[in-house]
Amino acid sequence: MEKLPVEEQPTYDPGCYLCPGNSRAGGAVNPKYSETFVFDNDYAALRPDVEEFEIKDRNLIIASSERGLCRVGCFSPRHDLTIARMSLQELRLVIGMWSTQYEELGAMPWVQHVQVFENRGAMMGASNPHPHCQIWANEHLPNQAAREQAALWEYWENHGSCLLCEYLAMENGRERIVCENEAFVALVPFWAVWPFEIMVISKRHVAAMSELHDGERDLLGDVMKQVTTRYDNLFEVSFPYSMGFHQQPTDARPHPEWHLHAHYYPPLLRSATIQKFMVGYEMLGTPQRDITPELAAERLRQLPTMHYRDRI
Write out the catalytic residue numbers.
132
Please report, as residue ranges, which positions from 64 to 83 form the binding site for ligand H2U (by CB under 6 A). 72
Q: Which stretch binds ligand H2U (CB under 6 A): 79-87, 120-128, 140-148, 272-280?
A: 120-128
CB of 22 to ligand H2U, least distance (A): 9
| Residue nearer to ligand H2U on the CB measure, 239 or 258 | 239
Q: What is the CA radius of gyration of the chain?
A: 20
Task: Kindly give the pairing relationship between strand 68-74 and strand 132-138.
Answer: antiparallel
CB of 267 to ligand H2U, least distance (A): 15
The one among 134, 161, 181, 292 contacting ligand H2U by CB under 6 A: 134
Interface with ligand H2U includes 126 (CB under 6 A)? Answer: yes
Please report, as residue ranges, which positions from 27 to 66 form the binding site for ligand H2U (by CB under 6 A). 41-43
* CA distance linking residue 8 with residue 267, whole number of Å: 22
| Residue nearer to ligand H2U on the CB measure, 119 or 226 | 119
Q: Which stretch binds ligand H2U (CB under 6 A): 83-91, 95-103, 127-135, 163-171?
A: 127-135
Give long-range contacts, CB 8 A cutoff, 24+ apart: 121-128.
Answer: 121/238, 121/239, 121/240, 121/241, 122/240, 123/240, 123/267, 123/268, 123/275, 124/240, 124/241, 124/242, 124/267, 126/240, 128/16, 128/17, 128/18
| Residue nearer to ligand H2U on the CB measure, 106 or 121 | 121
Q: What are the residues whose beta carbons fall under 8 Å from the beta carbon of 51, sequence distance 6 or more?
A: 65
Task: Provide the mask over 146-185, with x wherever binding to ligand H2U is found by CB under 6 A and - wherever it is not.
Answer: ----------------------------------------
Q: Which stretch binds ligand H2U (CB under 6 A): 7-15, 126-134, 140-148, 257-265?
A: 126-134
The one among 16, 46, 48, 128 contacting ligand H2U by CB under 6 A: 128
Interface with ligand H2U includes 91 (CB under 6 A)? Answer: no
| 86 contacts 94 by C-beta, under 8 angstroms | yes
Which residues in this chain contact ligand H2U in the complex, by CB under 6 A? 17, 24-25, 41-43, 72, 119, 126-128, 134
